[in-house]
Structure 1
Amino acid sequence: MTERWGREQVLGLAPDAPSGKAAATAARPAKWSGTGCDEQAVWGSCQGSGKSAYRAIVDLSEPAFRCSCPSRKFPCKHALALLLLWSDGTVPEQSPPGWVTEWLAERRDRADQAERRRAGKDAAEGKPGGARDPKTAERREQRAADGVADLDQWLRDQVAHGLAHAERAPYQVWDDAARRLVDAQAGALAGQVRALASVPRRGADWPQRLLEEYALLRLLTTAFDRRAELPEPLNATVRSRVGFTLNQEEVLAGERVRDLWYVAGSSDTEQDRLITRRVWLRGRETGRSALVLSFGAPGRALDASLVVGATIDAVLAFYPGAQPLRALVAERHASPRQYAPRGTTVQGLLREHADALSRDPWLDRWPAVLADLRLGRRAGDDGWHVVDPAGDALPLRTTDPWRLLAVSGGRPLTVAGEWSPRGLVPLSAWQDEEGLVIL
């Protein structure tokens, strides 16, 4: 039987806080009938406000959700409530009814058809593995090179004119530069340039931060201009930072690592009406970090297959680069299980981050799993810190440390989050008595 997830893991799948609260209200056995579960799925019918009950089913291997209710949220409160009941152990194990097996079979058929369509398209085009047309690639390369050269000149102009004008510069200054990069098919660079508009509006140290960002962008434009001289892993990193992408087949053909991967945390950000979900993983045996990304428009479902707090036995395929971090889940070998996470020390994290920056200086965040931490304040500092047994501390970047304090209760805990020199953003915590808490 698939190991049940904790309530925090289930509520971590909620699209927003109201959905989680509504699911907790609906997770009452008296509201449900025909519930059941097996190794692959959990299902049941929930009585709503109308005459007909809503049928809900969750494919535990993804997870994937389906409910007959009219809600546009995904997963809806009924699917979440069903998982809460399953988490509490109130859903009996039994053979699935026909409507459940039919839906699961349809999902398998759609996946098989999509795979056949991809294979047929590659064969028809004579492009095994999705190889690109050489002439098209050459034109793309030249457009990107022209766009990068234009950005390089723009950066030099900004510094030559001085930074003082940036404080009063309209957003259009950054947006125009970003639009030219979009036209040059250098989308990743365009996003970085747009983000510069917010720097002069964040704190008194903005000139220093803006100059740092300019310097990193200039380093990138110089590296791209000299890409033929770079080692292949660094060249791959530079091309990715500019906006060149790889298809899934190319990634799956590269480096693969099998491990027990702990799902440490998940974070969603929105830019240009696109939501990006970052899911951080850490290998129990290799100690290696990984980042799995998914994208979607607002209101659309994002990948929810990696449940925070679970540990999956899986093979990850890593994108090539000087510091391979982003990955795809290539294979899964067992159902998710829950283990206490293994963390490192503050000094261990800082060494990891320094080594990663030496290979990829454009990293803007790094995954952190830190063990045996306590929360506190330092003399002369108004902010909160996490402190390890050696007395080494890191600043917290959060407007609400109180939940973390409540979980700790003065006892040591393991914290997972995103680290940057501006501080640690906590995403989840583990305390031996409380278990997992998603922040």
Structure 2
Amino acid sequence: MENNKNKPFFERETMEQLTEAYVDSLALNSAAIKNGKDLVKKNSFPLLCKSEDASVIFGECKGSGKDPYRCSVDWAKEGNPVFRCTCPSRQFPCKHNLGLMYAYTSGKSFETAPVPQDLAEKREKAEKREEKKKETAVSDAPAAKRKTNKAALTKKIAAQLEGIAIAEKLLLQLTQQGFGSLDKKVLQTADEQAKQLGNYYIPGIQIALRQLTELFRSENERETVYTQAIEQLTMLHSLIQKSKKYLEGRLGNPDAPVDADTTLEERIGHAWQIAELREQGHVRTDVDLLQLAFRSYTDAPRGEYVDEGCWANLSTGQIQFTRTYRPFRASKYIREEDSIFHVVTAKELAEYPGDLNKRVRWDEAVYREASSKDYMNVMASAERSFAEVIKRIKNQIKNPLSHKNPVALLHFKEILKEDTAYVLVDDQGKQLPLTDIPFVSAPTTHLLPLLNRAYLLNQAILVIFEQNMQRNRLEAQPLSIVTADKVIRLLY
């Protein structure tokens, strides 16, 4: 197997700068880390070598067969290590690659030796592919946007509209039956009907229907479930109506531009590619970002694990998100993301259409240590008026298709405790209640009294909002506190 792990960790990493933390960051999950380290503990590497120019380490690792696996980690291209191994694993890097690197970081003796012929040939082929890619990129630079296959587009839209009609009928049936009659059998039938929507290119609407049926399988109190179900029904109704109108318009005019300003396309189920976002002007170059919070959670209706990072864009001051989706069935082959404490410089940052907290992604980036200037930059971008922020948050929450849990970075004068609850106070004396909200599913407010009092005065705080329907008020949960020299994470 061979793979180019396109995720650098430090601004300049070579074999000489290899650290255990960096190797940990490359592993797909904690199990891969353990397996790689176990190989070193068991002395499974009878041969450990490094090239004279310190650009590649290679060796042999004992396997289940009589012949050892030959593995290597190649830094021929700075910032992009290439992993190669003769084992049949589909994980990149495999445990043998990880073990090879852990052997180096643990101080094992590596013999300086010539790069094996087969490895040298692969490196040469890789270099030629890279050169050809660059030549193609240059030749394609002034090229026009991709042409749309109108016949295929018309056929797809017609199928989507047919699927939306089915979804609308299913939603009507569930509503007419009433929430009280939605027993296990009815929910199973609804899931089977929703499954059929997989043939109509509307996975987003299909997932939204699954989210509705999943609510009635939860162990929450019925009143809470009914409140959430009404919100989901409202969203689904709006999504179906707006999708129908939008797609009917595109069916009548295939030349009409795709909606790249709102989340509607993604809500229907479109998976934006970086090339498309580039065509729509949603790409920035050389952008610095600092991660402020991180969490992983399970999304049962989607059938995926989600790794979500919350970032401060140091170029614009905006709070943005990265999300990596790992389908249950393929999760062990997809790298599990983790907290990042360095500043990331994305060579090309793609922004998805969205609301206050746009989702972003990048393919290539370099990392550097965060400085006091970076932290001060983040603090300077914090909102100082709670009233203005709350107005924007409420406007977003009112929109049925907008995310109901936006995030904001706020400058606060102090954090006070009133009775058993905490409140955030701005310079004008406006208060914002702090509490643990259901959406996050991880408490953080209980950590506030553990902090030094100085961190509760005149700092910046990252909070996530939720409208409490029972109390009819907007509440916020603290995620991180940003000071002049650090980020104190309450959730990571």
TM-score, scaled relative to structure 2: 0.63
TM-superposed CA distance for 1:206, in Å, is 0.6
CA distance in 2, matches of 1:68, 1:371: 54
Give yes or no for the alignment of 1:302 onto 2:334: yes
Q: How does 1:407-418 map to 2 (within 5 A)?
A: 410-411=451-452
Amino acid across the alignment from 1:309: F
Correspondence for 2:24:
11
Instruction: Report the CA distance shift for 1:247/1:270 in structure 2 as closer, same or farther (over 3 A).
Output: same
Which sits farther off after the overlay, 41-50 or 276-285? 41-50
Correspondence for 1:363:
403
Correspondence for 2:243:
224
What SS is found at the alignment partner of 2:57?
Answer: strand
- 2:266 counterpart (234, 240, 255): 240
Q: How does 1:21-60 map to 2 (within 5 A)?
A: 21-24=34-37, 33-35=48-50, 43-45=57-59, 48=62, 52=68, 55-57=71-73
Q: How does 1:252-401 map to 2 (within 5 A)?
A: 252-253=278-279, 254-258=281-285, 259-263=287-291, 265=294, 267=296, 269=298, 278-288=308-318, 289-291=320-322, 293=324, 297-298=329-330, 301-302=333-334, 308-314=340-346, 315-320=348-353, 325-329=358-362, 332=365, 335-339=366-370, 342=378, 353-354=393-394, 357=397, 361-363=401-403, 366=406, 392-395=433-436
Correspondence for 2:471:
none
Instruction: Report the CA distance shift for 1:139/1:396 in structure 2 as closer, same or farther (over 3 A).
Output: same
What SS is found at the alignment partner of 2:33?
Answer: helix
Q: Deviations over 1:20-50 (max 9, x none)?
A: 334455567x9874357989x6635476578
Amino acid across the alignment from 2:294: G
Which sits farther off after the overlay, 317-326 or 419-428? 419-428
Runs of 5+ unmatched residues, structure 1: none
Higher Cα Rg: structure 1 or 2? 2
Instruction: Report the CA distance shift for 1:110/1:136 in structure 2 as closer, same or farther (over 3 A).
Output: same
Q: Deviations over 1:125-178 (max 9, x none)?
A: xx9644331122122222222322332333233223321112545442332342
What SS is found at the alignment partner of 1:226?
Answer: helix
Amino acid across the alignment from 2:231: E
What SS is found at the alignment partner of 1:313?
Answer: strand
Give yes or no for the alignment of 1:210 onto 2:241: no
CA distance in 1, matches of 2:270, 2:370: 37
TM-superposed CA distance for 1:241, in Å, is 0.8
What SS is found at the alignment partner of 1:98?
Answer: coil
Amino acid across the alignment from 2:296: S
Q: Deviations over 1:208-239 (max 9, x none)?
A: 11111011111111222333599975875223
2:288–2:344: 8 Å Cα contact kept in structure 1?
yes
Q: Deviations over 1:304-363 (max 9, x none)?
A: 79973332222212234566823442664xx31131664658959867755654677332
TM-superposed CA distance for 1:207, in Å, is 0.9
TM-superposed CA distance for 1:434, in Å, is 10
Runs of 5+ unmatched residues, structure 2: 1-10, 251-255, 469-474
CA distance in 2, matches of 1:69, 1:322: 45
Q: Deviations over 1:101-135 (max 9, x none)?
A: 65555445556778999999x9xxxx964433112
Q: Aligned residues: percent identity?
A: 17
What SS is found at the alignment partner of 1:244?
Answer: coil
CA distance in 2, matches of 1:72, 1:427: 36
CA distance in 2, matches of 1:394, 1:339: 30
1:74–1:301: 8 Å Cα contact kept in structure 2?
yes
Correspondence for 1:149:
165
TM-superposed CA distance for 1:285, in Å, is 2.5
Amino acid across the alignment from 1:362: S
Amino acid across the alignment from 2:290: Y
Which sits farther off after the overlay, 168-177 or 353-362? 353-362
What SS is found at the alignment partner of 2:368?
Answer: coil
TM-score, scaled relative to structure 1: 0.69
Q: Deviations over 1:377-396 (max 9, x none)?
A: 99668xxx998998852416
Correspondence for 2:212:
196
CA distance in 2, matches of 1:417, 1:23: 37
1:35–1:43: 8 Å Cα contact kept in structure 2?
yes
Instruction: Report the CA distance shift for 1:171/1:193 in structure 2 as closer, same or farther (over 3 A).
Output: same
What SS is found at the alignment partner of 2:367?
Answer: coil
TM-superposed CA distance for 1:266, in Å, is 6.2
TM-superposed CA distance for 1:65, in Å, is 3.5
1:371–1:388: 8 Å Cα contact kept in structure 2?
no
Amino acid across the alignment from 2:245: R
What SS is found at the alignment partner of 1:282?
Answer: strand
Q: Deviations over 1:51-73 (max 9, x none)?
A: 85753416573465334556554
CA distance in 2, matches of 1:238, 1:353: 19
